[in-house]
Structure 1
Amino acid sequence: MHFKSEKYSINSTDYEVGQDNISKWGMDIHNSVFIASAGLSILFIVALLILSPAEAKAAIDTVKAAALSKFDFVFMWSANIILIFAIGIAFSPLGKIRLGGDKATTDYSTVSWIAMLFAAGMGIGLIFWGVAEPTAFYTNWFGTPLGVEPFTAEGRELALGASLFHWGFHAWAIYGMTALCLAYFVYNKGLPLSIRSIFYPLLGDKVWGRIGDLIDVMAVLVVLFGLATSLGLGGSQAASGISHVFGIDNSLFLQMAIILTIMGLAIVSIVRGMDGGVKLLSNLNMIIAFVFLGFLALLNFTTVLDSLLTGLVGYVKNIIPLSQNSGRDDTTWLHGWTVFYWAWWIAYAPMFGMFVARISKGRTVREFLICVLCIPTVVTAAWMSFFGGIAIQQIIDKVGLLGADQGIADVSLSLFYMLDAYPMGNILSIIAVSLIIVFFVTTLDSGSIVVDSMTAGGKLELPVMQKVIWAVISALIAMMMLWIGGTDSVQALQSITIIAALPFAVILVIGCISLVKGLLSEVEQPLVSQNKGA
């Protein structure tokens, strides 16, 4: 069964787009989405050039703070509802439906598939926050979860548990449901790989008009700004690590050189294609990450085992209190951490969802949801518990720089401070920097593929040069932000991404409803009438 509309005639992944698509200079783009996305991106950069970075950041931060505090219920309950949808669909009869039809086969092994979704999703974040977040919660750096007393056994349990909460089931439900919505409508209904396709059961052919354009433009901007933010902040963290290890000045030149290196490696990855690029790097990075994790676990076996058990207990015990937005005494911590995280995952969901949708054909809905929800949650639980547990133990025992400062002195260096306590600290730090860079390469590669597809009307196969162009644009935005105003400009860009996540939270919940309606059509009746000879 295929959907038909006035503007699209879709047959699986081979379809023709109406007059809104243009093909010239070796490019294949959706005219209105491409022009609007590019124009608004340029307008934002021009605005930052005219305004002082500090003033722009202050103004944008005011709007972001209002969005996080006044609409915290939107983010909190959107995440809760999306998780309920994911669990309900996974264990319902709808879970038996196979992406691509009953005879569809997978393109990637389960191991490679999981490695790619993990690398595209949160790999880089775990490197940055694996030490910093549990340490921050334990030492009362910008508040403690549920108002628990810092530097206590209960504080340690909640510090680890709250960290797992932020990187666990809620986060992966947001990612997974977005990916499932797209994968289902692309592979089972023959619609283009575009956010607008999710809403066909609710809006019908209106999704091919201005409403659909608006949805796709919002998605493009969120993904593009999210990529640029990640590159800017990641370049700064990698530069901090290199400066710390090798004694090199952490200058703007070094940060830009790192971003250019990431861009160059991403271009090589793009040119090599999915198998020779993202898949290869993701598998390699997961091997290095697990060796890194295992080595630290052997050095601190008792600590990491106890931390893992403590973190899991803290997660399970407090998942319901941490999921609520009312009746809490820790509102500053709630808005600064949990609501911010939910907004960030929602903002990143279009990129992650579209990329994972591309690589998930042939898997059943149940297999898809269980794997996306459970396997990354287990890995992130181990990572946060191991690194966070070791860092907290160093604080308790007053070991190394973390112990001396009794907490975080510099967020970007917290991981490296923890590693400094080991005789092989410099070698471990070099491995950490390598992980950061390769994770960013896979993120930029997958993000470029997603932006390219969205600005080309949702097509799956497009000229390689277009993907390269979007990788270059993302890197240039990140470098320009650093050049204009350093991390202030990058954080302003991050704040805009968070603000854009507010309407997107509602869009994702509506998308879940649309998905259920689509899945029910598999067992009840077609979603659209077979008109015009369909």
Structure 2
Amino acid sequence: MTSSNVPPDEPATDEEYSTDFELGQDNVRPLGLDIHNPVFAISSIMICGFVLISLANQEASATFFGWFRPWLTSTFDWFLVLSVNAITLFCIALIVLPVGKVRIGGKDATPDYSYPGWVAMMFAAGMGIGLLFFGVLEPVYYNFAEGGGANPLGIDPASAGNEYIGVVGTIHHWGIEAWAVYAAVGLALAIFCYNLGLPLTLRSAFYPILGERVWGWWGHCIDILAVFATLFGLTTSLGLGAQQVAAGLYEVAGIEPTSTVTIILIIVITAVALGSVLMGLDKGVKRLSEINMIMAIALFIFVILVTGIGTALSRFFNVMVDYVVHLPAFSNPFGREDESFFHGWTTFYWAWWISWSPFVGMFIARISKGRTVREFLLCALIAPTLVCAFWMSTFGGAAIDMLNAGGAEGVRATVIDAYKPEGALFGFLSELPLYGIVAPVSLLLIIIFFVTSSDSGSLVIDTITAGGKLDAPVVQRVFWCTLEGLVAIALLLGGGLSALQGAAVSTGIPFTLVVLMMCYCLWLALRSEQRKL
């Protein structure tokens, strides 16, 4: 069967898909490895070359990435925003349309994980370190930094009713649009894998339009780009996490957060992640994700109790109303007056989320068998958005209240007076009781988030480079886990935060086209599955 036998409006049947997969296999086993030739070879060689070049030319790398990231986000701002808008509307449409009844894995499939375990793994993979790094930093920065230049939509936080506009802007970045990107990729991978019998890899989603060519160089290019997007999106998060752990060590143990300390932390935590990788998905990643969830909930409850439950609830509902009211303006890429907020933050976030989408999408696809499309999307969009919003409004909103009252000197020192973003959380926690206990617990939470991101990412990249195999040799996961740490080190030494962000954006922008095409292919597959109900 060739691609011409499958018109775009008539997806192939399960049998046709599976037959082509059998004909298209080109996995090889040199030295006992199970790699998808040439995805593994090209990806690993190019990434290793990037690491060596960056480490050998640190100053040039810093200069390049310092220019590259702002150029990308200001040039492709309209494309990123309009694309994310389209993906979000597509996901919402799938919830309300009849295709929402389609079950991942077929009508008789049952979930592999309970709701708590499923949501915990999804949440830990999708947000993780970001909540701890940006939860205080971002709302405070939007409200107080740069003389108002970063105010979302140009709204003055001093105006009546807008004192939490920084929180509203933060929720915009971490809410439904971010999760729509993850959900679209995850759902596409899940349907083509569990319903149509194709391997769990990005190329599979393009079978309706590429046919047999998906097993050739078209498919290789898609998977290679997915590896780059995943790796650079992930290392951005790992680099931020390492910097925050270094700041936490200074607070807890008085160790100066130098570059050497940060590099040592990446090495040590990568080694811990290797242990989790060796234990596998159920014993390693799942257990750590559940521990993460318990500790994060405990920290959240502590903060909400000491800052006031009533105040936190009232603030949350107010900012959610403002979020809904301002969402159309946030989603408009044209004629924006808030250039610093829009180009410095929004367009970067959209590119970062898209670069993360192969990682988070494949991971949540792997754990979501047995859920209906409607169930999957509602949980993937609504639950994380509400949790993120409650977290940001509690941490960031409380910090804003403290600053407006003339307190929170620790936050002022790290966000306003001197921009040291990795210290914002600990500056906030130092204003609360029991800091001697809460700070070490928060540090441990960051480390575990760091580990879960690394081992989850290793599993995903290994799956892509092994041609969608879920049981590839463990040594390959060890290789990718180690390489993630090396890339994070290379980027931190070759430009720091700008290099990390630039690498994520550079892969996120071209991968946006891939995600948009995946949405179209997903629609074709869901229509075919709906006919079987």
Q: Of the candidates 102, 107, 111, which is equivalent to residue 102 of structure 1?
A: 107
1:373 aligns with 381
TM-score (norm 2): 0.92
User: Is the partner of 2:198 in helix, strand or coil?
Assistant: coil
Aligned equivalents of 2:260, 2:436: Cα separation in 1: 23
- Offset of residue 467 of structure 1: 1.2
Using the TM superposition, name which of 152-161 and 443-452 deviates more: 152-161
- Quote the Cα distance in structure 1 between the aligned partners of 2:294 and 2:203: 36
Q: CA deviation at 1:72?
A: 0.9
2:144 & 2:225 partners in 1: Cα distance? 38
Q: Within 5 A, what are the aligned runs for 1:77-226?
A: 77-141=82-146, 143-226=150-233
Do the aligned partners of residues 481 and 324 (structure 1) sit closer, same or farther apart at CA in structure 2, a change above 3 Å counting?
closer
Alignment partner, residue 398 of structure 1: 406
Q: Retained in 1: the 8 A contact 2:24–2:212?
A: no
2:363 to 340, 345, 355: 355
- Pick aligned residue for 2:469 from 459, 471, 476: 459
Specify which of 249, 259, 279 is matched with residue 252 of structure 1: 259
Contact 1:161-1:313 at 8 Å conserved across structures: no
Question: 1:153 and 1:257, CA in 2 relative to 1: closer, same or farther beyond 3 A?
Answer: farther
CA-CA distance at 1:231 after TM superposition: 2.0
CA distance in structure 2 between the partners assigned to 1:8 and 1:277 by the alignment:
34
Distance 1:490 1:389 in 2: 25
Identity of aligned residues (%): 42
Match of 1:387? Answer: 395
Q: Alpha-carbon deviation of 1:223?
A: 1.1
Q: Deviations over 1:471-492 (max 9, x none)?
A: 112112223444x44xx15632
Secondary structure, aligned partner of 2:29: strand
Does residue 1:37 correspond to 2:43, yes or no?
yes
* TM superposition shift of 1:3: 5.2
- The alpha-carbon deviation at position 50 of structure 1 amounts to 4.1
- Counterpart of 1:528 in structure 2 is none
CA contact (8 A) 2:20 2:212 kept: no
Cα RMSD (Å) of the superposition? 2.1
Q: TM-score, length-normalised on structure 1?
A: 0.92
- Contact kept in structure 2, 1:237 and 1:413, CA below 8 Å: yes
Task: State the one-letter code of the partner of 1:33.
Answer: V
Alpha-carbon distance in structure 1 between the residues aligned to 2:249 and 2:208: 50
- Following superposition, the deviation at residue 524 of structure 1 comes to 4.6
Residue 4 of structure 2 corresponds to which residue in structure 1?
none
Which stretch of the first structure deviates more once superposed, 370-379 or 156-165? 156-165
Which amino acid is 1:46 matched to?
Answer: L
Whether the 8 Å CA contact 2:233–2:503 is kept in 1: the answer is: no
Contact 2:24 2:215 in 1 (8 A): no
Would you say the 8 A contact 1:157–1:314 is kept in 2?
no
Separation (CA, whole Å) in 2 of partners of 1:435 and 1:38: 31
Deviations 1:489-515 (A, max 9, x none): 563243122021112112111111110
Residues 406-437 of structure 1 deviation map (CA, whole Å, 9 limit, x = unaligned): 95332111111111112312321112111111
Secondary structure, aligned partner of 2:34: strand
For 2:525, the equivalent position in structure 1 comes to: 518
- What residue number does 2:350 align with? 342
Per-residue deviation at 1:337?
Answer: 1.0
Q: Deviations over 1:243-293 (max 9, x none)?
A: 122211223332233222322221221222222111111111111111110
CA distance in 1, matches of 2:226, 2:75: 23
Give the alignment partner of residue 433 of structure 2, picking from 423, 427, 438. Answer: 423
Q: Which residue of structure 2 lines up, in the alignment, with residue 25 of structure 1?
A: 31
> Residues 325-354 of structure 1, C-alpha deviation per residue, up to 9 Å, x if partnerless?
112211232011111111110010000011
Per-residue Cα deviation, 1:55-102 (whole angstroms, up to 9, x for no partner) = 323323433322211211111011111111101001110000000001
Counterpart pick for 1:2 among 3, 11, 14: 14
- The 3 A distance-change label for structure 1 pair 250 and 207 is same
1:494 matched residue in structure 2: 501
Give structure 1 stretches of 5+ with no counterpart: 526-534
Q: Which residue of 2 aligns with 1:230?
A: 237
Retained in 2: the 8 A contact 1:136–1:407? Answer: yes
Hey, what's the Cα distance between the residues in 2 that align with 1:405 and 1:31?
A: 51
Q: Does structure 1 conserve the Cα–Cα contact (< 8 Å) formed by 2:414 and 2:423?
A: no
- Structure 2 residue ranges without an equivalent (≥5): 1-12
**Counterpart for residue 267 of structure 1:** 274
Match of 1:329 among 303, 326, 337: 337
Distance 1:230 1:420, change over 3 A: same
Distance 1:41 1:405, change over 3 A: closer
Structure 1 residues 358 and 406: CA distance shift in structure 2, 3 A: closer
1:42-61 CA distances to partner (integer Å, 9 max, x unpaired)? 2212332443x233233234
Deviation at 1:207, TM superposition (A): 1.1
Change in 2 beyond 3 A, CA 1:76/1:371: same
**Aligned partners of 2:230, 2:529: CA distance in 1, in Å?**
31
1:369–1:404 Cα change, 3 Å = closer
